[in-house]
Structures are given as C-alpha cells and as structure tokens.
Amino acid sequence: MAIRNIVKIGDDVLRKICRTQLTFDEKLATLLDDMAETMYKAEGVGLAAPQVGLLRRICIVDVGDGLIELINPVIMEKSGSQTGSEGCLSVPDRFEEVERPMTVTVRAQDRNGKNIVITAEGFKARAFCHEIDHLDGILYIDRIKK
C-alpha cells in the first residue's frame, strides 16, 4: 500500500466528470487500498478518486463504523434534510454549513464488481453525498448555505 498525494482546490481534476469504472482487477484493489491508507493518514472520513488525481467513479467512506468502498455509486433515493458542518481534504482548513438529505440509499458495486445497496442516515448520508458529488466535479463549497 502507498500514500497518494491529495489534490487541492484549484486543480482542474477536481472539476471534471469521472468515468465509469469497468474493470475489477488487482489494479482497482491496489487503488482502493491506497485510497484508504491515504484517507486514514489524513484523518478524513471520505475520499474520492479525483482527489488522488484519477477521474474514475470510485469513492470510500469511513465515519467510524468501518470502511465502505463504492464503485460507480448512484444515489437512488433521498429523504429529509440536515444542515451541518462539512469539510474536505482537498479544501484544507475550512468548514462550512451545508444542507444535505438526512437519509440516502446508494446503489454501487464493490471491489469485485458485485452490486450493493446501502442506506445511510445522518453523518454517513452526508459523507456519501459529499463523496459522490466529487465524481461529478462538485465540491461542498458549491453547496454552502447562503
């Protein structure tokens, strides 16, 4: 495993639409392992592939109850709303209030290509929304509550 460099705001790679991940191989496994190591070292609760310079629809989340790997995630359902403080490893030393759904159901694939469906609430739902936004070039600062 290896720590990867985290791309910071201002880099174009954070503003691009990511491509669907089509291969589920050893290279993907290595990338996911590296992303996890990078996220934990930086003490983040989520990390998306563009944040390590790769335009792929891949993100990871760990809000303290275990690592979740999402390949090609899609939010299928959302309900309710919550407003809370949010930050991003690509936007250092800044936290802002952002409104998000209270509950989301996400469909994705795991590292082996198997379909998974996860429903998350509260902070985990917030983290899912934040990371999935990254895959479409959206940063949380675009969603700051006015």
Q: Which residues bind Co ion (CB under 5 A)?
A: 88
Active site residue 86: no
Q: Indicate the residue among 76 and 95 with the shorter CB distance to Co ion.
A: 95
Which residue has the CB atom at the shortest distance from Co ion? 88
Least CB distance to Co ion at residue 29 (A):
23
Least CB distance to Co ion at residue 132 (A):
10
Q: Indicate the residue among 41 and 114 with the shorter CB distance to Co ion.
A: 41
Q: What is the 3-state secondary structure (H, E, C) of the chain?
A: CCCCCCCCCCCHHHHCCCECCCCCCHHHHHHHHHHHHHHHHCCCCEEEHHHHCCCECEEEECCCCCCEEEEEEEEEEEECCEEEEEEECCEEEEEEEEEECCEEEEEEECCCCCEEEEEEEHHHHHHHHHHHHHCCCCCHHHHECC
Least CB distance to Co ion at residue 140 (A):
6
Which of the residues 69, 77, 96, 131 is marked catalytic? 131
Q: Indicate the residue among 35 and 88 with the shorter CB distance to Co ion.
A: 88
**Active-site residue set:** 131
